[in-house]
Amino acid sequence: MEAFNKDWKKKLTPEQYRILREKGTEPAFTGKYFDSKEKGMYTCAGCGTELFSSDAQYDSGSGWPSFYDPISQDVVKTEHDESHGMNRSEVLCSTCGGHLGHVFPDGPKEKGGKRFCINSESLKFDSKE
């Protein structure tokens, strides 16, 4: 396990490691993508798996990048999370298991009602522009 962690620490910045591997979060309104309007694809900062299209991104007012759907249900998985005294659904990258954020049932009703609230540090962005 130690070698596994060393490999991640070499690949990721300290903040990315804290979020992706230790299930941390960034403060609201501080991430580089929370209010992005660029067109493109968001990938996992850990392994490069394509996760979310900017077409599914919207301004939820939460301070984190918010999406109403991943590009496919296969690219993310969810697990029950009771950390910090809350009852939530954690969102993980299906490929590397990296912590991305949480999903909540308060998204746009016309788009299925989900809000994938994702840490900017867990993402990389490939611009179409």
Give, in words, the CATH class of 2-127. Answer: mainly beta
d(CA 91, CA 52): 12
pLDDT digits (tens, 9 = 90+) for 47-70: 999 999 999 999 999 999 999 999
pTM of the predicted model as reported, rounded to 2 decimal places? 0.93
- Phi–psi pair at 122, nearest 5 degrees: -90, 0
Is residue 93 flagged as an active site residue? no
Residue 1 has pLDDT above 60, yes or no: no
Domain coordinates in residue numbering, the chain: 2-127
The CA-atom distances, in angstroms, between 75 and each of 14, 30, 37, 61 are: 24, 25, 23, 25
Instruction: Please identify which residue in the block is written with the tokens 């993402």.
Output: 123
Residue 4 has pLDDT above 70, yes or no: no
Q: Name which of 6, 13, 49 is nearest 32 in CA terms.
A: 13
Report which residue type is found at 115: R
d(CA 20, CA 120): 11
